[in-house]
Amino acid sequence: MKKIFLLLSLLLMTFSLTACNAQVEPTQDNTTANTNVKTTTETTSSSTSTQTKIIKLTTTNNQTIEIELNNSPSANDLYNQLPLSINLEDYSTNEKIFYPPNKLNTESTPKATPKIGTLAYYEPWGDVVIFYDDFRANNDLYELGHVISGEDIVSELSGTVTIEAMPN
């Protein structure tokens, strides 16, 4: 009986020593968590680098309207065509329009939501629209931005206007 008890004690000690010498490997979960933290940090730092783009429309009698552009491909295409001296036309009873020299890329650009002061792009005709009164949603209207000053004079605009980027 003593021999069995001694043998069991030796086996128990051997297993205990073996378990103490084992090294713990990092789990897949720890690696994934560290990767996610890094990705989140990278995303945050890149999203803060986008700057607000503001354009200014100036009439021949020095009236100005400022418009803040969204960060869509269409708005960026318009911004990259500036400065422009262009003819602004009346259309209907709620909007002014002009035709930029080049068509705008509407991919990933949000649809325009009906709101006075909206700057939008009407894709079928290739014109840019500034709404000064109510309008209905249209699947071919893409939002470029909104008027931030001078909204009260949009309805009076006509003729040649200069459109330029405002410095950041």
Confidence of residue 51 (pLDDT cuts 50, 70, 90): confident
The DSSP secondary-structure symbol of 71 reads: S
To 10 degrees, the CA torsion angle through 33, 36, 40, 41?
Answer: 70
Q: 3-state SS string over 104-164?
A: CCCCCCCECCCCCCEEEEECCCCEEEEECCCCCCCCCEEEEEEEEECHHHHHHCCEEEEEE
Confidence of residue 158 (pLDDT cuts 50, 70, 90): confident
Q: What is the pLDDT of residue 9?
A: 60
In tens, the pLDDT along 103-144 reads 999 999 999 999 999 999 999 999 999 999 999 999 999 999
Q: Which residue has the higher pLDDT, 27 or 78?
A: 78
CATH topology for the 53-165 domain: Cyclophilin (2.40.100)
Amino acid identity, residue 79?
Y
In tens, the pLDDT along 7-49 reads 556 555 555 544 445 444 444 444 444 434 333 333 333 333 4
The full set of domain ranges for the chain reads 53-165
Give the other-Cβ count within 10 Å of 132's Cβ.
20
8 A C-beta contact, residue 55 and residue 77: no
Q: What is the pLDDT of residue 16?
A: 52
Within 13 Å of residue 92, how many CA atoms lie on the same side as its CB?
11
Distance CA 93, CA 154 (A): 12
Q: What is the pLDDT of residue 26?
A: 46
Q: What is the pLDDT of residue 168?
A: 78
Q: What's the mean pLDDT when you consider all of the chain?
A: 81
pTM here? 0.70
